[in-house]
Amino acid sequence: MDNDKRRGILGVGNPLLDISARVPSEMLVKYEVKSGDIILAEEKHMGVYDELVGSYEVEYIAGGATQNSIRVAAWMLSEVEGGGTAAFVGCVGDDANGKKLAEVATAAGVTVEYQIDAATPTGLCAVLVDDSNERTLITRLDAANNYKRSHLESEAVQKLLGAANVVYSAGFFLTSGGPDCTTLLGAHCVENGKHFCLNLSAPFIPQFFGEVLDKTMPFVDILFGNETEAAALGEARGWGSDPAVVALKVAAMPKQSGAYARVVVFTQGSSATLVAKEGDVASYPVPPLDKDLIQDTNGAGDAFVGGFLSRFVLDEPLAKCVEAGHWAARAIIQRSGCTMPPKCAFASEI
């Protein structure tokens, strides 16, 4: 396998332009949200995006769960001699926000190839940071929900797919691109000896999209999730809610390719991360962090995956991948939003 393939990660998911600003508490009252809410926008929230841009000092971030992980992976790979590639595809609108999203993603070191939906605006997430440093997220998916398999089959995306050895999607993509896309990606990985990775992303995925998950799971080489998502999956399957038991059950599910044993990675906040493979579960303690240093835990899961994959694509052992995931999550939770310091210092700090 050539060097580009060995070091390439491709994310496929639902891209959002995060628009973040510090706001007074009156802003939350105006839009009828509570501090810390994470919600999908209703009609009453639609004015928040223009108001943020027009009245506050905003920061634009290339968001959405998959794109967050790919940005973190690009950052983690940036310190590696010879580097590595991190690319992302998804659907945006033919508008200024779509162009801004491409601009900030590219600036973060990610190669993007967006499908353009001329009829639907780019997906947005308003990030309201209040006086207590709590973040309230108001998301409108719009074009992010409209990704088509035909874009995956385009020459530009096939080139990115060809250069990647690891393909990653958050579970949210199962509700938009769906099994049409994930099975195409999975089949490509099976046929070419690559790794297809999926994140459960939220409890509602195993609870309400079990059939879609079933169609995708035979292709999955690495499944990520947290303890809440693991419990939801276990309860939906009648396995109980113990993350270690669920991890072993998932690792043993039928697989399309026997080239790699499935790996299941369940994070548990500050408790140990569990990794199941071939009938065994390993436990990796999370290095402690003073609570006073924690600013925002919302991006921790996305950051963990980005860190993990940045070392997995370099053929590092699973223990090193988990270490990189923990380190990335630790770096991100000390900042507001899923943002990174300019320089990655993983290699020098470990």
Q: Three-state secondary structure along 49-68? A: HHHHHHHCCCEEEEECHHHH
101, 134, 99, 120: which is closest to 22 by C-alpha?
Answer: 134
Distances (CA, A) of 143 to 153, 165, 255, 275: 19, 27, 32, 35
Burial of 96 (0-12, 13-18, 19+ CB in 10 A): exposed
Q: How far is CA 163 from the centre of its chain?
A: 20
Token reading at 205 = 């995925």
316: helix, strand or coil: coil
Active centre residues (catalytic)? 302
How far does Cα 305 stand from its chain's mean position? Answer: 7
- Nearest CA-CA partner of 49 in 8, 90, 118, 100: 100
Q: Output the CA–CA distances (angstroms, integers) from residue 350 to 287, 327, 328, 331, in the order listed.
A: 12, 9, 12, 13
Element of type H or E holding 210: helix 210-216
Q: What is the DSSP string of 95-152?
A: SHHHHHHHHHHHHTT-EEEEEEETTSPPPEEEEEE-TTS-EEEEEE-GGGGG--HHHH
* Residue 225 near residue 246, CB atoms below 8 Å: no
C-alpha span between 299 and 285 (Å, rounded): 19
